[in-house]
Structure formats: C-alpha cells, structure tokens
Structure 1
Amino acid sequence: MSEVALLRQRIEMECEAMRQAMQGFRATASHDIINHQYSAIGGLQERLADLVGEREAAMIAVEAYIQIIG
C-alpha cells in the first residue's frame, strides 16, 4: 500500500473516531476530544500535502470527512 493510501486510511479512521465521539455511545464527548481528532486529521493532511500537494490533500481530507461524518 502506498504512503498516500495509508495516510488516506488514517484520515478516514480519525473521521470515524470523530463521528463516534459526536454520536452514538460517546454523545457527551468533550470539546477537547473532538478538537484532538481535528488536529490529528490536520497533521495527516499536512503529511499528505508533502506527497500530493495542498489542494489534493485538502480534497482527500474533505471527501473523507463528508463520506464518514456527512
């Protein structure tokens, strides 16, 4: 699996963790938990930007967010 695919997968995993923090069993998740997820996604997006450029990295992150969180 390429580094781009691995980073995309990690972004998707962070989005899923954020979705679960905002819904489901963890509906009372604190702002700090959700903020941590956003920070993690941002860091992954920066690493991705080094490989594919800022615009493509942003599109990958936004697509994952929309697909998983809605």
Structure 2
Amino acid sequence: MLRWSVLLGALLVTAPTIWAAFGAQTISVSSALVHYLVAVPIVAVLLALVRLAARPAAPRRPGTAKKPTPGEPAP
C-alpha cells in the first residue's frame, strides 16, 4: 500500500534529479521518472522500518507473565 508519506519522501529524495529534468533540462524526463520509481520502494521500506521502530510494544497477554523462580521476590 502506498502512502502519501512514501510518495512525498521519494519526491524529496529525487528532488535534484527532478530539478535537473524539468528546471535545468540537463537530463531526460524519462531518466528522472526512472529515478523516482526506483526511489519509491526504497523509501517505502525505510519508512516501514521507522514505523516499526516507533510502534509501541505489544501488551502482554494475561497468563504469560514470567513466574518468579524460588528465591526471587515477586513483582
């Protein structure tokens, strides 16, 4: 699933190439489009890793708490 953040992130990453194609006209538009299309899945994976790292920890299910060993104080 594509998110707006992925598309905008890919646009930000490929901004120099987009400028070279449309502003300075030093490279072809098709080359800039290929760079953008390559950047989209790369940015999607990177943002997915950021979302995964920023996600709160899953709560423990009841009954899965660690039982104290003998000699260890109970929580």
**Bin for the TM-score computed over the shorter chain:** 0.3 to 0.5
Q: Which is bigger in relative contact order (C-alpha 8 A, separation at least 6)?
A: 1
Larger Rg: 2
Structure 2 length as normaliser, TM-score?
0.39
Higher helix fraction: Structure 1 or Structure 2? Answer: 1
